[in-house]
Amino acid sequence: MNKKRVELIKGDITSLDVDAIVNAANNSLLGGGGVDGAIHEAAGPDLLIECKRLNGCETGHAKITDGFRLKAKHVIHTVGPVWYGGYHDEHSLLASCYQSSLAIAKEKKIKTLAFPGISTGAYGFPKDLAALIAVNETKRFLTKNVYPEKVIFVTYGDDSYETYRKLLDQ
């Protein structure tokens, strides 16, 4: 895989000028705290109206909406697993979040896609393991597919940046 197809940045995902940002949503898709709250705040009330029509989303799956007032044209909402110690399918459900989001990006011919650390906030997934899953699933997908052309991992207010940096340098 061409290394230029994966980027790493620190910052607020809601400010990115990309084709799509991924939201770490909950099963209701009706907004919440963390990055979900920030995305709804920045996108404006029309995002909630569109989300209400989607009838929620299962854990490990993903659904796409418009980006409304965001610079990003679309939001892909995925629902990560809550971490219950690692013996409740958390690993495969988180992998499925990345696979499902990337599959939607492929279908919609999205060129640039940005991910926050799904499940690594309120849902308590260990950050190092989450980063490993994120990078592995993304690399695997990009090797086989033309879209998305570029994936950006966005780290926010913690030390995940170095974790991702090491994984991406391998």
For residue 48, state whether it binds ligand ADP (rule: CB under 6 A): no
Q: Least Å distance between CB 98 and ligand ADP?
A: 13
Amino acid, res. 138:
T
- Given a contact cutoff of 8 angstroms between Cβ atoms, the answer to whether 14 and 21 are in contact is yes
Of 34, 48, 73, 103, the one binding ligand ADP by CB under 6 A: 34
Does 13 contact ligand ADP by CB under 6 A? yes
Question: From the CA atom positions of the chain, what is the Rg in Å?
Answer: 14
Among 40, 63, 65, 80, binds ligand ADP (CB under 6 A): 80
Q: Name which of residues 86 to 145 contact ligand ADP (CB under 6 A).
A: 116-123
Minimum distance from residue 78 beta carbon to ligand ADP (Å): 9
Number of residues binding to ligand ADP, judged by CB under 6 A: 21
Contacts with ligand ADP by CB under 6 A lie at 12-14, 24, 34-36, 38, 80, 116-123, 154, 156-158
